[in-house]
Amino acid sequence: MSTLFTKIINKEIPADIVYEDDLCLAFRDINPQAPVHILIIPKKEIVSIATLTAEDKEILAHIMLKTAEIAKHEGLADNGYRVVTNVGENGGQSVFHLHFHLLGGRKLTWPPG
């Protein structure tokens, strides 16, 4: 089932896009939890990592490589950052289209709430 992230992919609703290619899209989170908070998503409609299949391997590897590149481009590489994906209700997922949160620009605490 489509979510609002499909509308962002299709440019039906606006977003502050920082990177795009055939496989993925990266845009700034509307409710940032850190000075840099970017969501990296596959263009393919995948609910979460829980629903990945073997055919998604290339997409996932690509997203991880691009996430690291975006982090570097945002100036996060030296001091570090966090990449998080929430899964389901207990994981705190609110949009059911796979996304990786890239968070940085401040010291992040651990464990998360």
Return the DSSP state at 79: T
Q: Does the protein bind ligand DGP through residue 26 (CB under 6 A)? A: no
Binding-residue pattern over the window 51 to 90 for ligand DGP, x denoting contact by CB under 6 A: -----------------------------------x----
Q: Of these, 1, 12, 22, 31, which contacts ligand DGP (CB under 6 A)? A: 31
Residue 26 — φ and ψ, nearest 5°?
-130, 130
Distance CA 70, CA 36 (A): 11
Q: Does the protein bind ligand DGP through residue 94 (CB under 6 A)? A: yes
Q: Does the protein bind ligand DGP through residue 100 (CB under 6 A)? A: no
Minimum distance of ligand DGP from residue 39's CB (angstroms): 6
Residue 68, Cβ density class (10 Å: 0-12 exposed, 13-18 middle, ≥19 buried): middle
Catalytic residues: 99
Please, what sign has the CA dihedral across residues 101, 70, 44, 14? positive
Name the token pair of 12: 């039906």
- Report the interface residues with ligand DGP, using CB under 6 A: 4, 15, 27-31, 39, 86, 92-95
